[in-house]
Structure 1
Amino acid sequence: MTGYKFKFEKILSLRNKEEEQAENKYLHLKKELNEINQQIKELELEKEEVFDNLRTDNHNINSHIEMRDYLKRLRIVKIKIEEKKAEKAEAVKKQFEYMMEKKKERKTLEKLKEKESKKFFKEFLAAEQKELDELGRHYGTGGR
């Protein structure tokens, strides 16, 4: 009897590659989202520094005006980054769902492969047992 060959092996291989690509894209998007979160933290720290300067340096009016203008620009930048964060979070969510779908497809094929290989093995063992029984009968009747 010849060895077992899964008839959907190429499809399974393709599903593995698709899942791997989906996971890589998910990780990349997640990394970008973390970078955006880091930018927001840095903006918050910068904003706090400006507030500290405003509290401590209350003698120079021009400096005060410049810092307030700078705070307005920081707020605008933060709003834009928050919008980018929301978009990226949505992309991460969609990519995660896509990745899970690809994982499910791969697992389905792997289970099919496992079932077919068990079935093949049982059939192989049954054929071997039948052949051994025939040999036993043949030699049991005197080898004729």
Structure 2
Amino acid sequence: MTDPASLPYRPCAGVMLINRDGRVFVGQRIDNTLEAWQMPQGGIDPGEDARTAAVRELGEETGITADKVTLIAEAPDELLYDLPPELIGKVWKGKYRGQRQRWFLFRFEGEDSDIRIDTAHPEFRAWRWAEPADLPRLIVPFKRALYEDVLTAFADHLN
């Protein structure tokens, strides 16, 4: 078996989407039976910049189009997380030990009816608006520290 420490991190972009009430979009993954909620995020394609990837992933996962969001801030640093040992080798064809993510804070300018998780390749089975402070307890445990870092990065822009 490959030593996890020798594997690279998968380049990724994440979106914290806040509505007019300062609440954050979270979705329940379709491929997970845990009662866990996460913000939209996904891989950065070769040659794609992180902000473009973030807007693309947001659209692919929520149906929200670029004209319905306004960029508020970008986290100053890449944020990392490691997969738990039992998942290394099972996800992403075993090529990565975790993810290195660029995070973006967007304001949602649309209506709830603009959110369509029944996309061509659905990733979420349910969605809701959550209080920012609740994010670390809503996410799977191995991403809890990452979500705390995202909250810290955007603290000046949240209620």
**TM-score, with structure 2 as normaliser:** 0.17
**Which protein has the bigger strand share?**
2
**TM-score, with structure 1 as normaliser:** 0.18
Give the structure with higher Rg (CA): 1
Higher relative contact order (Cα pairs below 8 Å, separated by 6+ residues): 1
